């Protein structure tokens, strides 16, 4: 038996569903918080509304600079989705959406991450903001990638199309060049906004000052240098939306609450958290609902981590790979920190000992150093990590 309900104002909702006597659950497809006024024509029955999807209204949202887009301050980084099965990735992405997250960042270079995003959320496409990226620097190839991204994401527009860590800015005025192509695609409606990602602070600052981009994605966390953090004010000045990547500094920050509280200080910054597990998603949703305060205790945690992780350390970004000797640099070059900041048991297995031993075969060819955005002396760092690793294992 169902009970008649009058909705004011008129809102299109899914069919009211009677779950048990006197309780009605409505599922709204709206992207914005919605206010439902329900009048039950039969007095005496309890009516409960449950706003699902992005109608939850629980998540903080920010304006992403001159894009004018309103995005949830906590965004979903879909890089780790490539490590999940299609089924698990779809479930996780869907749960993120149902929890209220509306901003999803992926890249053509993240293998099947775009495909998983498309599979999970194409039916609610207009409720979400999608940012993806191309590493191509030639106009023709970048356009081909854009079309592939659109197809893979099952959409006909990308909200923020980002140049993915280019070594230099494209020539703004080159006829038939990359930037001209991006402007043409924006005009055609395939791209809504043009952004850029970078790992080098000088390149990032130049991109912001160039006036060519509407968003900047850059590694920002409480381990960032003052020079890196100054980009936030520069972006505010130029009204550029800031997307913070590596908010957990590639796994070296092990306190999500401290990371969250630190980045919450900046109201023009949307951190994308790389989420791989349901429990991680729940952690961030919990933090959203009960935001941690940057109090003295939290500041002490941050100060301690800064002291421990100061100087030139490997962020695990992987831009230096592949190595001709097959050395897994992004793990091996920060092994000393990983052993002490995460459960070490998984890193001292015979397989990992063999991985670390590959460092002995380093040719000192310099390929990794040339590609490292942090200008690290990678071969030296690897050797130091190997010596420490052997010492660590010997003492077990």
- Applying CB under 6 A, the residues found at the interface with ligand SF4 are 314-320, 323-325, 327, 329-330, 333, 362-368, 372, 374, 376, 378-379, 382
Q: How far is the CB of 302 from ligand SF4 (least distance, A)?
A: 21
Of 243, 240, 232, 207, give the one whose Cα is nearest residue 129: 243
Say how far apart CA 166 and CA 137 lie, in whole Å.
Answer: 7
Q: DSSP 3-state assignment of 320?
A: coil
Closer to ligand SF4 by CB, 261 or 381: give it.
381
What is the per-residue DSSP string for 196-252? Answer: EE-S-HHHHHHHHHHT--SEEEEE-STT--HHHHHHHHHHHHHTBEEEEE-TTGGGT
Say how far apart CA 78 and CA 93 lie, in whole Å.
Answer: 8
Q: How far is the CB of 321 from ligand SF4 (least distance, A)?
A: 7
Closer to ligand SF4 by CB, 78 or 314: give it.
314
H or E element at residue 4? none
Q: Which two tokens stand for residue 332?
A: 């091996």
Residues 339, 351 contacting (CB under 8 angstroms): no
Residues 292, 301 contacting (CB under 8 angstroms): no
Q: How far is the CB of 322 from ligand SF4 (least distance, A)?
A: 8
Closer to ligand SF4 by CB, 26 or 356: give it.
356
Q: How far is the CB of 323 from ligand SF4 (least distance, A)?
A: 3
Residue 260, C-beta contacts closer than 8 angstroms, at least 6 positions apart: 74, 247, 271, 284, 287, 291, 292
Closer to ligand SF4 by CB, 3 or 319: give it.
319
Closer to ligand SF4 by CB, 247 or 372: give it.
372
Closer to ligand SF4 by CB, 120 or 339: give it.
339
Alpha-helical (H) ranges within 135-215 are 139-152, 178-188, 201-210
Residue 311, C-beta contacts closer than 8 angstroms, at least 6 positions apart: none
Closer to ligand SF4 by CB, 234 or 321: give it.
321
Q: Is 14 exposed, middle or buried (0-12, 13-18, 19+ CB in 10 A)?
A: exposed
Q: How far is the CB of 329 from ligand SF4 (least distance, A)?
A: 5
Angle at 231 between CA 209 and CA 178, to 5 degrees: 45
Q: How far is the CB of 111 from ligand SF4 (least distance, A)?
A: 18
Closer to ligand SF4 by CB, 235 or 337: give it.
337
Closer to ligand SF4 by CB, 158 or 314: give it.
314
Q: How far is the CB of 58 from ligand SF4 (least distance, A)?
A: 35
Q: DSSP 3-state assignment of 383?
A: helix
Q: How far is the CB of 244 from ligand SF4 (least distance, A)?
A: 17
Q: How far is the CB of 274 from ligand SF4 (least distance, A)?
A: 15
Q: What are phi and psi of 264, to 5 degrees?
A: -65, -20
């Amino acid at each position: 038996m169902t009970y008649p309900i009058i909705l004011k104002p008129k809102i299109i909702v899914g069919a009211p569903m009677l779950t048990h006597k006197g309780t009605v659950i409505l599922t709204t497809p709206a992207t914005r918080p919605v206010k439902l006024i329900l009048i039950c024509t039969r007095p005496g029955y309890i009516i409960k509304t449950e706003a699902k999807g992005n109608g939850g209204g629980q998540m903080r949202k920010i304006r992403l600079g001159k894009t004018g887009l309103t995005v949830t301050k906590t965004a979903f980084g879909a890089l780790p989705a490539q490590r999940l099965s299609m089924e698990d990735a779809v479930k996780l992405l869907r749960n993120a959406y149902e929890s209220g997250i509306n901003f999803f960042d992926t890249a053509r270079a993240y293998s099947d991450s775009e495909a998983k995003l498309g599979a999970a959320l194409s039916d609610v496409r207009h409720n979400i903001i999608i940012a993806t990226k191309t590493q191509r620097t030639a106009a023709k190839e970048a356009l081909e990638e854009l079309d592939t991204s659109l197809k893979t994401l099952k959409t006909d527009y990308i909200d923020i199309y980002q140049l993915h860590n280019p070594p230099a800015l494209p020539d703004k005025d080159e006829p038939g060049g990359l930037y001209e192509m991006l402007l043409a695609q924006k005009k055609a409606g395939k791209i809504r906004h043009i952004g850029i990602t970078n790992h080098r602070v000088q390149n990032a600052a130049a991109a912001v000052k160039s006036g060519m981009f509407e968003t900047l994605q850059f590694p920002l966390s409480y381990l960032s240098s003052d020079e890196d953090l100054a980009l936030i004010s520069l972006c505010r000045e130029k009204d550029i939306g800031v997307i913070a990547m590596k908010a957990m500094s590639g796994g070296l920050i092990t306190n999500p609450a401290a990371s969250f509280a630190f980045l919450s200080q900046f109201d023009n910054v949307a951190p994308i958290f790389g989420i791989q597990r349901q429990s991680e998603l729940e952690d961030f949703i919990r933090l959203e609902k009960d935001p941690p305060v940057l109090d003295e205790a939290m500041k002490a945690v941050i100060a301690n981590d800064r002291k421990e992780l100061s100087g030139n350390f490997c962020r695990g970004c992987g831009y230096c790979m592949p190595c001709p000797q097959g050395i897994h640099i992004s793990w091996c070059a920060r092994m000393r920190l990983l052993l002490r900041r995460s459960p070490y048991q998984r890193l001292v297995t015979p397989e990992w000992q063999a991985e670390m031993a590959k460092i002995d075969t380093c040719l000192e060819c310099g390929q990794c150093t040339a590609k490292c955005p942090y200008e690290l002396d990678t071969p030296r760092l690897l050797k130091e990590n190997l010596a420490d690793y052997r010492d660590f294992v010997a003492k077990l």
